[in-house]
Amino acid sequence: MSSEILIPIFPLGIVPLPGEPVPLHIFEPRYKQMIADCAPVAGSNQYLPIGINFAHPQKLHETGCTVIVHQILHKYADGQLDIMTQGSQRFHVLELDHSRSYLQAKIRYFEDLNPSEIPDPDLKTKLLENYQTFLSLIGSDAEWSLDTDAISFQLAALLSLETEIKLELLESRSENERLERLCNYFKELLPRLEKAKEFQRRVRSNGHF
């Protein structure tokens, strides 16, 4: 079991996933201070982790994902920042801490229950085929490549998923479970896209087959 640590928390209406690029605009004074507090110290070139939790109305989701600042894209004259971060580790909030101007929390990181789990090759193949079909249906020729070991988070980061689905993936502790969830997502999505494409074809042909 991992130890408990205290990290800054950035409540937002997004759900970052491990490995996902997350651009952020920092404008509130308390969050500008948070970024400054997480800046690399002497002898290091890496920012400290910042936890992002999905913020419900009046409630903070207890499962979150840390992000690491990779680049300061732009500094404004008034101190606002455009930064590029990347999703890193998943965690559970154990206790909130309001001692600073920005929220902090005592958290515990978590991983999949079986880190040596072998992804089901049939699920992987099906998911990749579904994604290629998806790109074809939306008319995209975007180039893409995924690592072979754990593709669920990588592929999910390429999709505009609903918040509920991203939370399911974030909380899941099995790569095969995540692969299956994404396959089910495409099972519902692809027929709708195919119907929409067929409708567009009929419109272009003045309603005739």
**Per-residue pLDDT tens digits for 44-92:** 889 999 999 999 877 899 999 999 999 999 999 999 999 999 999 999 9
Out of 3.30.450, 1.20.140, 1.20.58, 2.60.40, which CATH number does the structure's domain 121-204 have? 1.20.58
Domain with CATH 2.30.130.40 in the chain: 4-109
Whether 206 shows a pLDDT value over 80: the answer reads no
Domain with CATH 1.20.58 in the chain: 121-204
Residues 62 and 93: beta-carbon distance below 8 Å = yes
pTM attached to this predicted model: 0.89
Mean pLDDT of 95-104: 97
- At 41 the pLDDT is 82
Out of 2.60.40.1930, 2.60.120.200, 3.30.9.10, 2.30.130.40, which CATH number does the structure's domain 4-109 have? 2.30.130.40
